[in-house]
Chain A
């Protein structure tokens, strides 16, 4: 087997093992950005608290803030 063929087999196995990991990183960054944007928006309210988690169907956002009383919004996107 030539060096070229060995290299191809090796890089193929490396890439296959990696697939999916990059998207996880992308999703993490996306969640971080989204949380930051929402935090900026909800800063106009008192005691904003934002938590975004990944759930099976998409993203779950729990947003709570103080208006007349404590309001909580919870939604799945």
Chain B
């Protein structure tokens, strides 16, 4: 039985789609069978982040309208054999796409996967409600900024009202140099503020931007951070990536100084 996790945030642009794609890859790397679903209808970008935009033949609407079988709409990732993607496509009829129908589709493929990860649209309108009604767990992605934290708090309250079994938090775009200079909130402070379990800390890194459509290099900090999150989810551990590590010590303080220039 697959665990259905919705990736949400409230605020747009905090990295939901990137987190969905990279977390999917990390879970596939630790041997899990993973399906990524884009439920951000109209503004769907998960296909581009995964580099699968030219491979889409059928989407979720085709499945709902009976134009194809669900397995025909699943697209296998180019690099990872146990990672699949289901596109939202261009939706013309909103009536077909509701939480109940999507839930029925997921029930049909429940046994094939270990994890079904749902990319949720920004905001708290009907698209958001549709996405969270299909999930039994949620991961809220936030950045250490006022607007993101304010929206994350609202979203967490709505998720609680939906009786979602487990709500976890990932803090994205954290800068170790600013934390050590006391200029950015610690992820642990954010955890306390939002009263939600922190399962991941992701560093702000150029490599994430540069590797869109490709897989993250294994040497990058982001790759290591995603791997820790995958282990936290699968093994129940609670290790977090230390974003300050490379800015401590003599060489670290030089790096920090250069970064602040």
With known contacts A14-B146, A22-B158, A26-B161, A8–B193 Cβ distance under 8 A:
yes
Q: Tell me which residues from 1 to 41 in chain A have a Cβ below 8 Å from any Cβ of chain B.
A: 2-5, 7-8, 10-12, 14-15, 18-19, 21-23, 25-26, 29
Residues of A within 8 A of B185 (CB): 4, 7-8, 11
The proximity string for A residues 46-69 relative to B, scoring 1 for CB distances below 8 Å and 0 otherwise, is: 000000000000000000000000
CA A7 to CA B146, docked complex, whole Å: 8
B150 interfacial by beta-carbon distance below 8 Å:
yes
* A12 proximity list for chain B (CB < 8 A): 193
Chain A residues within 8 Å of B153, by CB: 15, 18-19, 22
A15 to B149, CA, bound (A): 8
Q: Interface of chain B, helix or strand or loop or mixed?
A: helix
Q: Nearest chain B CB to A40's CB is how many angstroms away?
A: 11
How many angstroms between the C-alpha atoms of A57 and B183 in the bound complex? 47
How many A-B pairs fall under 8 Å by CB? 57
A10–B154 Cα distance when bound, in Å, is 16
Q: Are A8 and B189 in contact, with the CB atoms below 8 A?
A: yes
Q: When chains A and B are docked, how far (Å) is the Cα of A3 from the Cα of B158? A: 30
Closest to B10 in A: A22
Separation of A14 and B194 alpha carbons in the complex (Å): 12
Given A15-B153, A15-B193, A22-B154, also A4-B124 (CB < 8 A)? no
Task: Tell yes or no: B163 within 8 A of A by CB.
Answer: no
**How many Å from the CB of A8 to the closest CB on chain B?**
6
Instruction: Give per-residue flags for B124-154: 1 if the beta carbon is below 8 A from chain A beta carbons, else 0.
Output: 1110010000000000000000100110011
Q: Which B residues fall within an 8 A CB radius of A?
A: 124-126, 129, 146, 149-150, 153-155, 157-158, 161, 179, 182-186, 189, 193
Query: Can you report 27 A-B residue pairs in the complex whose CB atoms are below 8 A from each other?
Result: A2-B183, A3-B182, A4-B179, A4-B182, A4-B183, A4-B185, A7-B185, A8-B189, A8-B193, A11-B149, A11-B150, A14-B150, A15-B150, A15-B193, A18-B150, A18-B153, A18-B154, A23-B158, A25-B124, A25-B154, A25-B158, A26-B157, A26-B158, A26-B161, A29-B125, A29-B126, A29-B129
Taking Cβ atoms with an 8 Å cutoff, the residues of A that contact B are 2-5, 7-8, 10-12, 14-15, 18-19, 21-23, 25-26, 29
